[in-house]
Structure 1
Amino acid sequence: MATATNNNEFFEALAALEKERGLPADYLIEKIKAAIVIAVKKDYEVEDENVIVDIDPSIGAFRASLAREIVEEVENPHTQVSLEDAQRVRKSYQLGQKFITQLKTKEFGRIAAQTAKHVIRQGIREAERSAQCSEMQSRAHEIISATVVSIDPERGNVTLDLGKGGSAVLPRNEQVPGEHYKEGDILQVYVVDVIPTERGPRVTISRTHPGLVKRMFELEVPEIYDGTVEIKAISREAGARTKMAVYSRDPNVDPVGACIGAHGSRVEKIVEELGGEKIDIIRWSEDVSEFISAALSPAKVVKVELLPSETKSCRVTVPDHQLSLAIGNKGQNARLCARLTGYNIDIRPESGYYGEE
């Protein structure tokens, strides 16, 4: 590296690393400087302040120097030089000044070269992890396509290849009940969270998260994408049913119709992607009673009473023949309605009120 030719090769290698790996040259230069400082400290038994490393790609400069203090009496030849010896090199040197000796790269020895290589490799890995983390963080709360790499037969966890983002595990509790996966399958997963770690990004993914359905509608329905229609709330029991409350900022745009699409085309596409999961799209309202009534769809509601309580609670009256519909199979409809609206809901048949009024 001491010769111009070697310097050129060095800076060409840096430029190639920057281009091919997407690693900033400045980042690598700082890592290389640190490596050389460590190597010089070891070889010359000096401290950080005695080592000067200058790497400047703009002028092709690569220099490593040893700085020793000029003293009258040398106690440590590694960090000090006598005034007499210094003035043999340059008569103007004075006591207390730094005596700079430029080093040849080959003088660092094998340890220096190995250290530099190690730090460069480590730097590349760190930069790649950082780039990988940035890539995944930009995709948080998005849907990504991932390939099944392996399946744990005991725990049921599925390892997925996320492409540039590395890999992630889809735990059994984030998988849709009834879905079966095999190696090579391509799955749509929702990126719930991305946490940077020393080993790269830790990505939390899900197939059951309500955000998966929400994002599908945002991508499928132009009126949601452009902000005309807003998804106000969503609740989901993956593989079975989703309830979604929508609102339109434009009185001329029907939010429910926009999500369903002509002849149900938009919602059907999403239902198909979700393996037949039912989707109820209801109109959101500022009027809580009206919102709860709509949320209990497909059941018809006779009356909603908001109860005075510290927790949000209400009593809903439905026609007798609609009671099982309102509650749903194993209570699913009532449960989803409660999650969607944020209210504890007590559903009663009309006959239950006879004689009370």
Structure 2
Amino acid sequence: MATKNKGFLDAFREVGKEKGISLEVLFDAIEAALISAYKKNFNSAQNVRVALDRTTGEFNIYVVKNVVDEVKNDVTEISLADAQKIHPDYAVGDVIEEVIKPANFGRIAAQTAKQVVVQRIREAERNNIFEEYSERANDILTGVVQRMEGKNVIIDLGRTEALLTPAEQISTENYTPNERLKLYIVEVKKTTKGPQILLSRTHPGLLKRLFELEVPEISDGSVEIKSVAREPGMRSKIAVYSKDENIDPVGSCVGQRGLRVQAVVDELHGEKIDIVKWNQDPAKYIANSLSPAKVVSVAVKEDAKISKVIVPDYQLSLAIGKEGQNARLAAKLTGWKIDIKSETQAEQNDLADGMEVVPVTSEKSFSVD
């Protein structure tokens, strides 16, 4: 007997389209649900198979039995003699399927199968979301502030929600409902309640990806971001480089009239940004990293990654920065320990400590103040 249920099938097709779930996943869910409904409502331990027509929605239920000489379990086995009554060609070892016709099964199936199908759809939707966002880890996306839960900010991504924890929030930002933000995907976890997407506004990767979006020369590979250092909400530094001598990597990131870098600053709500030129020569790179301060000379000890920097007296406070911020960011950017002294201090003491002192001129840089 074939049971017609095309309306039921059409409804699930619509659900699949809405949820972005493949039809085959839904068909499998429906078949599993019908098997579950049959076994539950008819107290059956039989091996059962459901064949669902993907076009018409008709389905048949079959009991599956193995053909044997001697039946030891009449639930899963059928004797050769009984099998040959159905068809004379059956032999021991064959598998026979008999169509069954349980009374009122259409109504029972509709009631019992619903929960199984809904659960399968929910699981498929969660898997789709997990796969979609796990592939985008270390990327940025745009989300809308939904609500606060304690100190956590819940971000609406459209198909799902994500979490911005206090550790990943910029301390100077206030998050208000319906505010649109760009956020960095730190991690995507599988949990019993579905995928958990952890976002960040403080990660250095957010700054890097924002520049990649704003600067075509970075996205096409002609300009490379070599390093990023951030004190989120306060100040950041990026080091950029181009193999092509005809391309100005700093100018590319700044943009005409500063529009490119300003777009990044606006997204980060006023975070100040220094764009410096990367150089394979450590002394020049360290000098550049201290932008906007000008540097007189740099002495380096490469094996220990220690440097001693001399700046004009009037540039000392600028080189160090408020509460040491500029020097601290330069050290993060370069990976070097940087000891900064003024020319007067250098004259009074032998600060080079046996290292070769290299006079340097800072290369082009740009600072948003």
TM-score by length of 2: 0.83
Q: 1:267 to 1:235 in 2, by over 3 A?
A: same
Find out whether 1:339 has 2:339 as its counterpart: no
Match of 2:345 in 1: 352
> Which of 314, 321, 325 in structure 2 is aligned with 1:321?
314
Deviation, structure 1 residue 124? 0.5
Q: Which ranges in structure 1 are unaligned for 5 or more consecutive residues?
A: none
Match of 1:292 in 2: 286
Match of 1:131 in 2: 128
SS of the counterpart of 1:46?
coil
Q: Which ranges in structure 2 are unaligned for 5 or more consecutive residues?
A: 351-369
> Which of 4, 27, 30 in structure 2 is aligned with 1:29?
27
Match of 1:216 in 2: 210
Please say if residues 33 and 53 of structure 1, whose CA atoms lie closer than 8 Å, have aligned partners that are also in contact.
yes
Deviation string 1:85-107 (CA, Å, 9 cap, x unpaired) is 44444455555544432113656
Deviation string 1:172-192 (CA, Å, 9 cap, x unpaired) is 222222222222222222222
Deviation, structure 1 residue 322? 1.9
Deviation, structure 1 residue 130? 1.6
Tell which deviates more after alignment, 29-38 or 259-268.
29-38
The structure with more helix, counted as a fraction of residues: 1
Find out whether 1:119 has 2:94 as its counterpart: no
Q: 1:33 to 1:94 in 2, by over 3 A?
A: same
> Which of 11, 16, 19 in structure 2 is aligned with 1:18?
16
- The equivalences for 1:255-334 within 5 A come to 255-307=249-301, 309=303, 311-334=304-327
- The equivalences for 1:94-243 within 5 A come to 94=91, 97-104=94-101, 106=103, 113-152=110-149, 155-164=150-159, 166-243=160-237
Which amino acid is 1:46 matched to? A
Deviation, structure 1 residue 60? 6.2
Q: 1:114 to 1:328 in 2, by over 3 A?
A: same
Deviation, structure 1 residue 203? 1.3
Find out whether 1:52 has 2:49 as its counterpart: yes
Deviation, structure 1 residue 231? 1.0
Deviation, structure 1 residue 351? 2.6
Q: 1:73 to 1:277 in 2, by over 3 A?
A: closer
Deviation, structure 1 residue 145? 2.4
Q: 1:206 to 1:60 in 2, by over 3 A?
A: closer
C-alpha distance in 1 between matches for 2:332 and 2:225? 15
C-alpha distance in 2 between matches for 1:225 and 1:307? 35
Deviation, structure 1 residue 235? 0.6
C-alpha RMSD of the superposition: 2.8
